[in-house]
Amino acid sequence: MNVVIVGAGPAGLAAAEHALRAGARVTVLDQAETPGGQYHRMLPEVYAARRPDRIQHGRAEFDRRRRVLAHPRCRWWPGSTVWAFDRAEKRVHVLRGPSDGSGRRRLTLVPDALILATGAHDRTLPFPGWELPGVYTAGAAQALAKGERVAIGGRVLVAGAGPFLLPVAESLLGVGAEVVAVLEANPASTVRKGWSSRPWRLAAHAGKAGELVRYAATLARHRVPYLMGRAVIEARGADRVREVVTAKLRADWSVVPGTERTYEVDAVCVGHGFSPQPELAVAAGCVLDDGFVRVDTVQQTTVDGVFAAGEITGIGGAITAAAEGAVAGRAAAGGTPDAALLRARDRARTFAERLAVAHPIGPAWRSWLREDTIVCRCEETTYGELTRATEDESCPGPHALKLGTRAGLGPCQGRICGPTVAELCGGAERHHRPIVQPIRLGELAARIEGEPE
């Protein structure tokens, strides 16, 4: 069996490990130069860090995990972009070379089974001024701090929803930034209700409690306030962010009038959870539920021979992703995942369910928007234009909406605004991108190389 795995994060690496154990030949591809994905983001090899464990959680576990890439039956292809999947021929189209470069090598693979572990990126809800330079996603702040040791600014506010904001704040402090506050939009009552019912069911994630305590201690040591039920509702500045306005929120995320507070900052990072990156699964013809790839008990998608694991099947963090990857790897290699693997996967998924309940997106966030608030960053489509188009009878359905307002037609192809536009305008999110990643015309015209030995 030849198994191709797209993505070398926790899900992809666990899938590789278990596919190898089941006797398969494995190829692991990732766009990045180093394995680990966003969770185990590594410092560049050339930094030759002597003590990388000082910033990388679970370093020992990651070192164990990444060893699979050196297995004699495993090929590791960093710097590889999978830009299309041909359903008829089950052919995986790959570009190898510098990101967005010209003249990358164009290769194809025809695997017996394909495992998609493409992960997620930050979901950020729009608010007035979110397009200003100096406003970043939480993931960007984390990637730059952990992956390069670059601080995005001197005085930074961290805001949004979910436990991910805590490691982001810690990473910012670690590169010498001042974190003025960490704001969780959900009030304490929502968060408590979500996490604390039947806590024993979270046993698979016992280590998380210790992690939370450590974050709390770090914030306290640096005197960073952690406030719940408060959000960034506006960023201000002419050429770049200079200040942000925060406000107290009710449980539905509507603003409590008169609670606004302004912070002077030179950077702000915001994350309201994550959006899956299902482009390849869609290209393969997999059915999605609410944006996530539908999988059966052994992580097989609705397409025969195509498996999915990790954040594209539901946002559940690294432990859940690895547990799903293990099952997918075993099954894709033609093996039968044993009961212990399946049980571990099911237990891990409890975390995903809790996360969704404890850190929901409140529906009243749209009350932060103004007529001229940009929703689609690429095409600068405003909230006003979108609502007018939705009410216009000559503009029925998402397709006409897109053509009429250009929302989702810019360079990112709706990756950022897609879920937001779908929520604001009704209708299902559309993921019809035959090309998964951009490819240059010269590269498209280039000769295809077959599978190299």
Q: Which is nearer to another protein, 17 or 30 (CB)?
A: 30
Give the nearest distance from C-beta 90 to another protein in angstroms: 26
- Which range of residues in 140-148, 191-199, 249-257, 420-428 is near another protein by CB under 8 A? 140-148
Q: 169: helix, coil or strand?
A: helix
State the residue for tokens 């929703």: 375
State the residue for tokens 């050339």: 46
The token pair at 246 is: 């925060």
C-alpha angle 103-104-105 in degrees, rounded to nearest 5: 115
Whole-angstrom CA distances from 339 to 65, 297, 301, 330 are 22, 11, 20, 12
Give the nearest distance from C-beta 446 to another protein in angstroms: 15
Give the nearest distance from C-beta 174 to another protein in angstroms: 8
Give the nearest distance from C-beta 276 to another protein in angstroms: 11
DSSP, res 402: H
Footprint (CB under 8 A) of another protein, residues 48-77: 48-52, 54-55
What phi-psi label fits residue 427: left (phi over 0), alpha (psi between -120 and 50 degrees) or beta?
left
Which residues have a Cβ under 8 Å from the Cβ of 339 and sit 6 or more positions away? none
Site membership for another protein, residue 411 (CB under 8 A): yes
Q: Which is nearer to another protein, 31 or 302 (CB)?
A: 31
Q: Which residues pair with 292 in a beta bridge?
A: 289
Give the nearest distance from C-beta 120 to another protein in angstroms: 9
Site membership for another protein, residue 176 (CB under 8 A): yes
Q: 325: helix, coil or strand?
A: helix
Site membership for another protein, residue 277 (CB under 8 A): yes
φ and ψ at residue 261, rounded to 5 degrees: -140, 140
Site membership for another protein, residue 218 (CB under 8 A): no
Name which position in 11, 16, 143, 333 contacts another protein (CB under 8 A).
143
Whole-angstrom CA distances from 117 to 91, 218, 276, 293, 312 are 17, 32, 10, 11, 7
Footprint (CB under 8 A) of another protein, residues 286-315: none
Site membership for another protein, residue 31 (CB under 8 A): yes
Site membership for another protein, residue 15 (CB under 8 A): no
Site membership for another protein, residue 150 (CB under 8 A): yes
Q: 306: helix, coil or strand?
A: strand
Footprint (CB under 8 A) of another protein, residues 358-397: 377-380
Name which position in 30, 184, 266, 385 contacts another protein (CB under 8 A).
266
Chain residues binding another protein by CB under 8 A are: 31, 33, 38, 43-52, 54-55, 98-102, 121-122, 131, 133-137, 139-144, 148-155, 174-176, 239-240, 266-267, 277, 377-380, 410-412, 415-416, 438
